[in-house]
Structure 1
Amino acid sequence: MSRVPDPLTVGRVIGEVVDNFSPSVQMTITYNTNKQFANGHELLPLVIAARPRVDIGGDDLRAAYTFVSPAKKTLALMVTDIPGTTDASFGKEIVSYESQNPAVGIHRYVFVLFKQRGRRTVSPPSWRDYFNTRRFSIENGLGLPVAAVYFNAQRETAARRR
């Protein structure tokens, strides 16, 4: 029986962005197209211009989550204190959404969800550049992620538009 590789490992999210973890909460990301995507899908930059909707699963409204979206060498979005079973609009936006626009090549966009331990305050990074997900998690006592999703995007060339 063949084993299906984990898409987060294939996409190098596990290893480069976060350590190996077992997902325990459902997280769904949708953009203005209202179409959900799965790990490894490719989206056009036009689709990702607006802030995504981030739905958090779980089974306890009292649980609080922190959502981060580290992009290449920067932090695209951070929301804390998101109640379980809701979406990120119920949380506190610490770092506002900054749309990424890939100029050349394929860019990976990552979304990581952490479960906060108690009502401990999560401190924002001093700046968005050179954001490190592992260091952020350690500094805020968040532990391993409970969910992660990623997609790829690349600039639409004239040849691809035809």
Structure 2
Amino acid sequence: MPRSTDPLVIGGVIGDVLEPFTSSVSMGIVYNNCPQVINCCELKPSKILNRPRIEIGGDDLRTFYTLVMVDPDAPSPGNPTQREYLHWLITNIPATTGANFGWRQNFNTRDFAEIYNLELPVAAMYFNCKRENDQSSGRRR
């Protein structure tokens, strides 16, 4: 059986956090002083302190999106005791927005989607974050 080359599958986002889905809307994430975030990129904490600019595609401004940012293996990949640590959640997004931060431990993306009757995701992205002086693998976001 062939292995997937999808970074969301390789990174465990699909499987650990999300059910399999087909991306149907473009999404871009840009932090100040950083190029646009791409799946599986590695960022330093000092580069992502400020809120990012999130751009969500779509042609119909009557369609609203929900944006969730979780850390699926917090506090560390080897000891994910705070699995799906919620960094922020924004609802009712018509196309493009900025994001505000909030935190919550032990969030569950699948449960949230079920409670609020959300459909399958239309886009997803993840990046790794490493401490400034750490050479080992960081957390997935």
Higher strand share: 1
Read off the aligned partner of 1:5 and give its amino acid letter.
T
Equivalent position to 1:88, from 89, 97, 118: 97
Instruction: Report the equivalent of 2:117.
Output: 141
Instruction: Report the equivalent of 1:153.
Output: 129
Tell me the TM-score normalized by structure 1.
0.70
- In structure 2, the CA distance between the partners of 1:88 and 1:156, relative to structure 1 (3 Å rule), is same
Q: How many residues align?
A: 124
Instruction: Report the equivalent of 1:102.
Output: none
Equivalent position to 1:79, from 90, 97, 101: 90
Deviations 1:129-150 (A, max 9, x none): 1001100100100021110000
- 1:54 and 1:148 map into 2 onto residues whose CA distance is 12
Shift of 1:4: 6.3
Tell me the TM-score normalized by structure 2.
0.79
- 1:21 and 1:54 map into 2 onto residues whose CA distance is 20
- 1:68 and 1:78 map into 2 onto residues whose CA distance is 5
Unmatched runs of 5 consecutive residues or more in structure 2 = 75-81, 136-141
Greater C-alpha radius of gyration: 1
- 1:158 and 1:13 map into 2 onto residues whose CA distance is 23
Read off the aligned partner of 2:54 and give its amino acid letter.
V
Instruction: Report the equivalent of 2:9.
Output: 9
Q: Write out the 4+ residue segments of structure 1 that deviate beyond 4 Å after TM superposition.
A: none
